[in-house]
A and B are shown apart, each in its own frame.
Chain A
Amino acid sequence: MFGHQSSFVMYDEELQRINAVIEKLLRESNGKVIFLVDKNGQLIAATGETEHLDTTSLASLTAGNIAATGGLAKLIGEKEFSILFHEGEKDNIHLSIVAGRVILVVIFDQRSSLGLVRLRVKKASDELGTIFQDLSKKTEERQKGGAGESPFAEITDDDIDNLFN
């Protein structure tokens, strides 16, 4: 799933499980917004006060941030920095890497605390790790069985051309 030349696939069932975990995390951590981004900057899921947020930009910058910090880590001989924390005047951002693959982002204000967020994130990370493992297996099985064939397998040149008209 995360290898080269293959797509990262998300299914309904796993997305529902992911949403359940991050909604619980939002409640338990007293956070404002939680979202999950893949390391390439694609938004996977978001919950909380997202209506005024540009989640696409946030996802891309989050991935850039993690990538840059990962580069720094390697330079000093670390594998990665698995947790990043940005402190603002009102809002703070807590970033953590889940299962080495996706980035869990928690935005919170004075109603919560760094300690609480860290504690809850740790638990949620384990649950998310299991889901992504399942997702990985499922994608592999479907690809082997042929059932997971790309939805684009049947598209025609006309379909592609029509996109640009």
Chain B
Amino acid sequence: MSFINYASREINCKIVYYGPGLCGKTTNLQYVYQKTAPEAKGKMISLATETERTLFFDFLPLALGEIRGFKTRFHLYTVPGQVFYDASRKLILKGVDGVVFVADSQEERLDANIESLENLKDNLEEQGYQLEKLPFVIQYNKRDLPNVSSVDELRNLLNADAVPEFEACATSGDGVFETLKAVAKLILIDLKKGGG
């Protein structure tokens, strides 16, 4: 649910990065943080365990610039990917305007990707959302690793609705901004239609 503030002429939107544990959601945000000009970003917050696994969420506020006199701000969140943090994941999805599903391309994570995508659908439905109606993009991450499934295979299993999809390597930054731009664009198009 976007927040349109006529008083300060701002529009705020929430993007959530979802995906199985260790798929690279936090790494996506860290790369965006590193490569964004200081004036366009706020502090990045990570609520993580001592071993740097996300415990609750990561948060990164970004200011993209103005559209028609309105400052556009995007709040980027990640969910904790580990299966047993499901209660926390549900909370992060509240008020979401757009979702990025980060898939781990490694063959051995195929089942984890499918399980996480199903979990995303279930948790959205619990909040009254439908994934098909939300701005949604998929990122096939870790393309640089040797043991990856083909994009065709990932697409067949994860992208039945043919939403925008991107190959990425979040550690080097390949595909990270392409993914973010695509979901931000879908959100703005949604707002244009008056849906957001």
Interface residues of A (CB under 8 A from B): 2, 4-12, 14-16, 38-42, 44, 54, 56-57, 60-61, 64, 67-68, 70-71, 149-155, 159-160, 162-164
Contact = CB atoms under 8 A, between A and B. Distances in A.
A164 B180 CA distance: 10
Contact of A6 (B1, B45, B75): B1
Given A42-B12, A54-B42, A61-B45, A4 B1 contact: yes
A152 B188 contact: yes
Interface string B49-79: 0000000110101001101111010010000
A12 B8 CA distance: 8
A7 B70 CA distance: 15
Nearest to B65: A163
B75 A41 contact: yes
Given A39-B95, A57-B42, A10 B1 contact: no
A128 to B, nearest CB: 16
A14 B14 CA distance: 23
B6 A11 contact: yes
Nearest to B66: A163
A10 B5 contact: yes
Contacts of A163: 64-65, 67, 72, 184, 188
Given A39-B95, A155-B68, A160-B67, A60 B6 contact: no
Interface of B: 1-8, 11-12, 14, 42-43, 45, 47, 56-57, 59, 61, 64-65, 67-70, 72, 75, 87-88, 90-92, 94-95, 127-129, 133, 181, 184-185, 188-189, 191-192, 194-196
Nearest to A16: B7
Top 9 A-B pairs, shortest CB-CB distance: A40-B95, A15-B7, A67-B91, A152-B191, A42-B3, A10-B5, A7-B2, A12-B7, A56-B42
Contact of B194 (A4, A40, A42, A149): A149
A115 B14 CA distance: 36
B52 to A, nearest CB: 18
B132 to A, nearest CB: 13
6 contacts: A11-B7, A15-B8, A41-B75, A151-B69, A159-B68, A160-B189
A159 B92 CA distance: 30
A5 B6 contact: no
B97 to A, nearest CB: 9
